[in-house]
Amino acid sequence: MCGLLGFLSADAQAGTVVDVVTAAGRCMRHRGPDESGRSWHDDDLALTFNRLSFIDIEHSHQPLRWGPPENPDRYALTFNGEIYNYLELRAQLTEEFGAAFRTEGDGEAIVAGLHYWGVDGVLPRLRGMFAFAVWDTERRELTVARDPFGIKPLYYATGPKGTAFSSEKKSLLALAATAGIDLDLDARAIEHYTVLQYVPETESLHRSIRRLESGSYSVLRPGGQVRERRYFHPRFPVRQIAGGPDSPEAEAKYHEIAEVLRDSVKMHMRADVTVGSFLSGGIDSTAIAALAIQHNPDLITFTTGFEREGYSEIDVAAESAAAIGARHVVKVVSPEEFRSAIPAIVWYLDDPVADPSLVPLYYVAKEARKHVKVVLSGEGADELFGGYTIYREPLSLAPFDRLPAWARKLAGRAGDRLPDGQRGKSLLQRGSVPLEKRYYGNARSFNDAQLRSVLTDFRPEWTHLDVTAPIYAQSQGMDPVARMQHLDLFTWLRGDILVKADKMTMANSLELRVPFLDKEVFAVAETLPVDAKIAHGTSKYALRRALEEIVPPHVLHRKKLGFPVPLRHWLAGPELYDWAREAIEASQTDQWIDKRAVLAMLDEHRAKAPEGWPGGTDHSRRIWTVLVFMIWHGIFVEDRIHPAIEEPDYPVRL
C-alpha cells in the first residue's frame, strides 16, 4: 500500500521538473513512510514513490526497473497495492517464457506479465488490489490500470504541458502549475455529491481532475489523452436454483462459497509483517477474522464505538473475538475526538464523503497501527452477496410491475397526497417509479425541493440519472436485485465504502485488505440467483448458510450495523451543534450554498429533538453533507482551514 505520482511531459521536459514532482509527492507520505520520495525520470516521464513495505521488505524498491534479458531496464513501474497470487504468476512466467526476476516481490509479476502477455492478458490474471503505472522506454508509452472493484485509487489530470497521475488528488493540486491543470470547480459534480453523499467516479470536484475508472486501463503517449478501456465486466445470471435455496444443488453452492472464502483469506494473509483484522458486530468482518485466525493463532482484532447506548457494537465484537480466540483491542471515540478529527479527515479524503462512519474508522485504524501493519476487513460482502435490506424491495413492489402505466401514475399521486410519515406513502411513491429512476444506491440525502432551497444554483437537469443511467444500461436482462447489486458495485461501493476504507487506513499508514473483493470470490458470487440471496425473508442468505460452521451463532443472523454514529443526537446537542453553526457561518461557500437555509435546517433539527424528529425533520445527514463540503472548501479552495497533519513515524516492520 503506497503512494505513487507521475508526470508524463508533452514536450520532453520531465527531467526539468522531477524535483517539483518529488516535492509534490511528499504530501502523501502517510501512504508510504518506509521509503519516501524515491524518484526516477527520463525525458518524457518523471516518477516518485512513497513505499509502505510488506513483502520483500529489503528489496522491491520503487520506482522499480525490470526488463527481458536483452533490455533488463526496459520498464519502470510504480505500483500501489498487493498482488496476492504473485508467487503463482512468477512461477508461470518462468515456466512459459523463462522470465527472470531480481526481487522476491509482487511488482515484477505485473511488469513481466505485461511484457509477455500484454495488458489484456495480464490484467485478468492479477488477483489483488492495485493501481499501477508502467512506462515502456522502448515504445515510449505509459500503461495505467486499476483493480476490478476500485479498491486502490488513481487520479489523473491533463493540461497543455502533460498528464499527471497520482494515488491522491492533493499531489495533483500541488502539480497544477507544472502540468497546466485548471483548478476550477465542477458545479455538476458538486450537485451529484450533495445528492449522493460522495463524488461519483470518474468525477472529482475539480473539473480537470478525474479518476481512472475501476476495472479499467489506459495506454497513453506523451501529449496524448487518457482513453479508458474497461477489462472487467461483471454479470449476474437470470436463473433459479433447481429445488430452491435449500436443495442439494444449493448446499453445494454454499460449500463452494465457504471454500473460496477460505482460499481468499489465506491469500490475503501473505505478508512479511503482522496481519490483524477489523471486527464489528456483523457477519462479514466476523467471518474474515474467524478464517484469518486459522492462519495466525495470535490474531489481534480491532473495533470501535461510542459511549452512547445503541451506537456501539463493542460488546458483540468482544464476544465474537472471545469465541474465535482472538486478542481484542477496543477504541471508544469521544465527542471531542470526533469533532477535532474532522478537518484532518477531510484533508485526507481529497474530495468530500459525507459518511460519518469515517471518523470511528479513522480512530480504529489509528489504534490498529500501534499493533499491526495490515488489517483485513469485510467490505464488499453486501454488494456481492445481496446484503442490503433494500435489495428485498423488488419483491414488495412486484405487484406494481403488473400495473399499466396509468395505474402506477395514479398510485404515485395518491402517495404524494399522504402526509409525511403516513404508513404506505413511501410504498406508493416508490412503486409508481421504475427501478432505474427510484434506486440510486444507499445514500439519498436531499430531494429536489430540499436541494433547491440549499444550492444557490440548483440545476434540475443534473440528476442522479447522469451517473446511474449508463450503469443501468449495462445490466439489461438481469433480475431487479442483480441490477441493484450491479449499480452499487459502480456507485456506492467504489464511491463511499472503498474510498473511506483506503483513505482512513492510509491516513494512519495502515494497509487494509478486503478478501470478499477477490476475483475468485466474485466468480462464485456472480453465479448466485436471486433466490439464494434474499431467501426466507433475510439478506445474504447464501453467505449465511456458507458461514454456519465458521462464524459464532450469535452473529450469524444479526442485523448489520457497522460503526454507527450518534450524529442526529450530537447535531442537536452540545457535542456538535455550536461547532456546526460556527462552521456554517464561517464558510465562504455562498457561490454554492445558501447558508441561511442550512442554518434554518440545523435549528429545526435541534428544535424537534425532544419529540424524536417526527416526519422528515431529522436533517442530520443533510446537514452533515453540507458541513463536510464546507470544510473541504475551507481547506482546498479558501485556504482558510489548515488541519494539523501528523508526520508518520512507524517502524518498517511490525
DSSP-based helix, strand, coil % in the chain, nearest 5? 45, 15, 40
Helix 620-636 and helix 335-349, axial crossing angle in degrees, nearest 10: 50
**For residue 176, what are the contacts with CB-CB under 8 A and spacing of at least 6?**
157, 159, 183
Closest CA to 522 of 274, 89, 271, 214: 214
Q: With CA atoms as reference, report the closest residue to 528 among 261, 258, 148, 254.
A: 254
Catalytic (active site) residue 27:
no
All three cell numbers of 631? 470544510
Angstrom distance (rounded) from CA 649 to CA 80: 20
Neighbours of 136 (CB within 10 A): 17
Measure CA 365 to chain center.
Answer: 15
Among 2, 133, 289, 510, the active-site one is 2
Print burial letters for 541-552: b (CB count within 10 Å at least 16), e (below 16). bbbbbbbeebbb
Pairing mode of beta strands 374-376, 141-146: unpaired
Bridge-based pairing state of the strands 374-376 and 511-513: parallel
Label each residue of 137-176 as H, E or C: CCCCEEEEEECCCCCCCCEEEEECCEEEEECCHHHHHHCH
Catalytic amino acids? 2
